[in-house]
Chain A
């Protein structure tokens, strides 16, 4: 589904991502862990086409997308949420999702409206449909990130820290939504610090630290790994 071949990214002299190799199979849901500043978001930005890698290749469904624009990758089936939400502040919450369905999801105007309504209900935003997105509370803007990402009808969904700050009950609802999306056939990569949430869903865990993955594999094994404990869990 997705293949990173020796992908690197430096900011100035700082090599944040250093020759990372990674393979993602269709039907996986992979969790990514890593300390703050490890380069997790940077990795997503390169996969989604926001940042060009300083080296290496990115292949999505057998197509080299390394030089492809973000909007083309989105239309190809890569949806993503932003850790720091990027709502369209002066458009209504409904329009935020509708525009994603139209452009990324290639729906007609009428279709997009119906889809936006359904997705807002699914993400618990229906009562805010007419609220300007700039007036939503932070947790709601995170839900809106998810709603927009779903509206583009992704085959690969990149989730960047959407569970932080949720109550136990809200987190359960979110996990239910993500599980549904996954069951509908969407491959997911999920960056999250909330480990207990991650391990309930993921098929694999990958830990990013010091510019590369220090452990990739089944959740229990990765969490038990000595290097992971040192680098991330601080024990």
Chain B
């Protein structure tokens, strides 16, 4: 019997699928300005998904996530512009470098908890940015542009290049969603979800908290690094403050996830959409944008800790992307049916 909430749910699932399919074909029907904006949206989405995994599930509230974006950007420049590798293979290599840097960063940061951990991640990011500014081959403190040859290797015409970068960002965002979905459905993922709800309770039923944290920290780093590489392709240059931008790659991301709904699959997606809508329609606000988003996220968290998705979810029978496991036991189902009949 299709009830109203179930109809709404089916509608949303259809809409989600339709939008994903339409986005895959984006460059065929969007104009170049729109292609650029959606590419940016997809990169931001990857960052939001990763921050949500860390802060929303593994309780690693990092404010230094821009470190790995910057490392990815600089590594990408190194492999493509300096070492002469083709830009496409430079992307996964940039992810690999981010992963390698994540290991010592993790050992340092994991000695700390809560507020100290946040400060620790920020310090690590600042140090990495300062180091990046010392790299003369990367243009030192003022940074440098991607060589024309690399830009042209992505496509002769500007629109072709924009389409290529768009599809790279689309592929990365799709991969991020796939990986997150299958992670959350996995044995480790159900443990992470339990950690999200009650860490001590999760430890008491056998969830290895430390291992789950390590996995999340190391698993998100390559995605952040690859996002940094794609952002560099789009911006066409690297520079310490821009490639390691705490505002763009961490602060806005935190606002987005908090507004959308921390600790859910849908939250970072909704938050990033809200952010782009606000930005496109309220662009004349300038720096007020940041203040507005900050205030908005505080208001949202005061009303519902789990953000807009937490509010909206009350109207629905299930998640749009169902990550939860359902009973398969016929006994459970039949008991439930008899309970509702009586």
Q: Determine whether A186 belongs to the interface, using a CB cutoff of 8 Å to chain B.
A: no
User: Which of B187, B201, B206, B327 meets A88, CB within 8 Å?
Assistant: B201
Q: Please tell me if the beta carbons of B198 and A126 are within 8 angstroms of each other in the complex.
A: no
Q: Determine whether B8 belongs to the interface, using a CB cutoff of 8 Å to chain A.
A: no
CB distance from A221 to the nearest CB of B (A): 33
Q: Please tell me if the beta carbons of B187 and A109 are within 8 angstroms of each other in the complex.
A: yes
Q: Please tell me if the beta carbons of B335 and A105 are within 8 angstroms of each other in the complex.
A: no
- Residues of B close to A80: CB separation below 8 A: 204
User: Which of B187, B205, B206, B336 meets A126, CB within 8 Å?
Assistant: B336
Q: Please tell me if the beta carbons of A113 and B201 are within 8 angstroms of each other in the complex.
A: no
What's the Cα separation between A15 and B59 when bound, in Å?
32
Stretch at the interface among A53-61, A69-77, A175-183, A187-195: A69-77
- Per the 8 Å Cβ criterion, residues 311-334 of B in contact with A are 324-329, 331-332
What's the Cα separation between A89 and B206 when bound, in Å?
18
User: Which of A48, A103, A114 meets B328, CB within 8 Å?
Assistant: A114
Q: Please tell me if the beta carbons of A94 and B205 are within 8 angstroms of each other in the complex.
A: no
Q: Please tell me if the beta carbons of B204 and A88 are within 8 angstroms of each other in the complex.
A: no
Q: Determine whether A210 belongs to the interface, using a CB cutoff of 8 Å to chain B.
A: no
A48 and chain B: residue at smallest CB distance: B204
Q: Please tell me if the beta carbons of A74 and B332 are within 8 angstroms of each other in the complex.
A: no
Q: Determine whether B137 belongs to the interface, using a CB cutoff of 8 Å to chain A.
A: no
- Residues of A close to B202: CB separation below 8 A: 88, 99, 103
Q: What mask results when residues 79 to 114 of chain A are scored 1 for a CB within 8 Å of chain B, else 0?
A: 010100011111110111011101111100110011
Secondary structure type dominating chain A contacts: helix
What's the Cα separation between A70 and B210 when bound, in Å?
11
Q: Please tell me if the beta carbons of B194 and A121 are within 8 angstroms of each other in the complex.
A: no
- Per the 8 Å Cβ criterion, residues 121-136 of A in contact with B are 121, 126-127, 129-130, 133
B199 and chain A: residue at smallest CB distance: A86
A97 and chain B: residue at smallest CB distance: B205
- Residues of B close to A126: CB separation below 8 A: 331-332, 335-336
Q: Please tell me if the beta carbons of A70 and B203 are within 8 angstroms of each other in the complex.
A: yes
Q: Determine whether A138 belongs to the interface, using a CB cutoff of 8 Å to chain B.
A: no
User: Which of A89, A99, A113 meets B205, CB within 8 Å?
Assistant: A99
- Residues of B close to A116: CB separation below 8 A: 327, 329
Q: Please tell me if the beta carbons of B329 and A82 are within 8 angstroms of each other in the complex.
A: no
Q: What mask results when residues 32 to 54 of chain A are scored 1 for a CB within 8 Å of chain B, else 0?
A: 00000000000000001110000
Q: Determine whether A120 belongs to the interface, using a CB cutoff of 8 Å to chain B.
A: yes
A85 and chain B: residue at smallest CB distance: B201
Q: Please tell me if the beta carbons of B191 and A74 are within 8 angstroms of each other in the complex.
A: no
User: Which of B193, B204, B329 meets A113, CB within 8 Å?
Assistant: B329
12 A-B contact pairs sorted by A residue (CB < 8 Å): A49-B203, A71-B204, A71-B209, A74-B203, A90-B263, A96-B194, A98-B190, A99-B194, A99-B207, A121-B331, A126-B336, A130-B326
Binding site for A on B (CB under 8 A): 187, 190-191, 193-194, 196-198, 200-210, 263, 306, 324-329, 331-332, 335-336, 339
